[in-house]
Structure 1
Amino acid sequence: MDTDDLPVVLPPSTVSGLSLSLHPLPILNISEHLTRLRLQTRSSQPFVLGALLGTQNGREVDVVNSFELAVDADEKVDHGFLVSRRDQYKQVFPSLEFIGWYTVATVPISRHIALHEQFTAYSSTPLLLLLQPSASAGTSDVTAQNLPLKAYEPTVEMRNRSSRSVFIEAPFSVETGEAERIAVDWTARGGEGGTSLEAHLQTQRAAVKMLHDRIAVLVQYVKDVIAGSTPKDHATLRSLSALIASLPASENKAFREEFDTEYEDVQLTAYLSTLTKSANLLNDLVDKHTVISSLHREERAGMAARRRGGQSRGFGTGFAGHGNWD
């Protein structure tokens, strides 16, 4: 076995004293990150790496958000990008700090120690959150551990008078606020009820699909009758013939003219609606321009009147003064 594939995690009997809370947003972000990379790279196991943001008070840690990280071919983190994104988040959420990183794997291995060391400059003990998409969630207790996620805390193991960096599993719980519960519930239901248009389109799609399936059954029946593999049912064939005869043929001139008329009426109605909205906007603009112009004229008239009054008072004073000199 390659040394890079050796697990670097302490046995389950070793208990972490960390109190870790995980919010839904980073879970959704990590899952979306993996799904998108799978589609983009057409690989079942793409390399996924990102940063975790949250708050820490002693041994109590809350993982609140996450963002993706840029890496090169040698799995070296772009630290300039990391610092830039972290600072951008802090401008909006000043309480959030870099508290760890996430990736996709079954268990921490030596490869993850090298990645872990790249994050020690931002946190003395950066947490590791692993997404395990192939892990079974068939446990009996309904807890956060049903999620294909494992959290690990870094530590140092002493063995044979030497030390090495390892990980210790840290149990976590899922914490949600009222806004998060509403958002997650809406996302889990695929945005049902988000808009009436979506519900209407879903209904239309189901109706069209049902019609298509029934037409396919009729077409297959006719093909089987022609091939001789199905006996003829004259009542059914007469019903099909009547149905086909009632359909407007595309080459029917009367139907084509009626269709074109309806289509032109719809287009004309939409065009008139657009013109009406434009006319209303233009009318509002003209009204505002008229009000502003009248205010400017009144202001200019007032200023002119004040200037004329000042000139008259100045001339009268000068004339009186001249008289005093005499």
Structure 2
Amino acid sequence: MNILVTGGAGFIGRWIVKRLAEDNHFVWILDDLSNSSTKNIEALLLKYPSISFVKGDITNSADLENIFKNKFDICYHLAAFINVQESIDKPKVTFENDVMGTFNVLEHCKLNNTKMVYMSTCMVYDAAGEIGGISEGHSTCPASPYAASKLAGEQLALSYYYAYGLPVTVLRPFNTYGPYQKRDSEGGVISIFINNKLKREPLSIYGSGRQTRDFLYVKDCADFVVEAGYSVKTNGKVINAGTGFDISISELAKLIAGGEDNIKYVPHIHPQSEIKKLLCDDSYAYELIGWKPKVTLVEGILKTEEFLKNQFLLEGV
């Protein structure tokens, strides 16, 4: 197939591109590099001649018109502003990119009868209860402009399914981590913690550390996203992906640091947007496409730490 991945030079995007290339598809990446880097895909471009990279912006209709000349079978739409604090500081920019950009992509998918797989987030949900995980029918509570923009994008995408019969799938992966994730303040907590550990710096926890997360290894996430796109059973559906296991940020820090000596607690930068408990019920993903995560949290942390150690060697740190 001919497949487009918007945001394909980003952390999760590059893993999706890799899986698609391994499956022998022709893959185009559209990315403006505002939240990503060509370093993420350099090795893939060298290994797979079936991958093409185009620098472009989903808010620019001309960029989309040009790339959609390739007549795609599927568009995996990941391009977005994903930083919660930045969305609080710049809600208009987030809305224009994540909602209007999604509208632009949907319009071109409709014109070309291209299935769209929309990458949403678990951040749209209200907190999980004490018993049981968050299913797709769980109440939503977008506590940041980022989450609200993602939720608006979901509804917009589903409207194209109902109004025009466009094949659309909405995915809500839980907290994804692994190699190629940013390890600075814009990265995920696991990459940041491992980075600080390797640099012998304190692991800083926002707030009490009692907030919990369900961490999904990035290769498992990419397999979920790709397989959801392949299946007609997912059309018109909203689907979670997670492990069904949550851990507090305090316990996560202890696991990575090997104890409590190098951990410190700092005031939260956006406590109003913190979700206290995120735990996924992924049974619907298994029911629809037979997907289950394969990598445990301990295995995933070890894989991520090994990757970051190699990065340090390459950087001469």
Using the size of structure 1 for normalisation, the TM-score is 0.24
Structure with bigger gyration radius? 1
- Name the structure, 1 or 2, with higher relative contact order (CA <8 Å, separation 6+): 2
Return the structure number with greater helix share.
1
Using the size of structure 2 for normalisation, the TM-score is 0.24
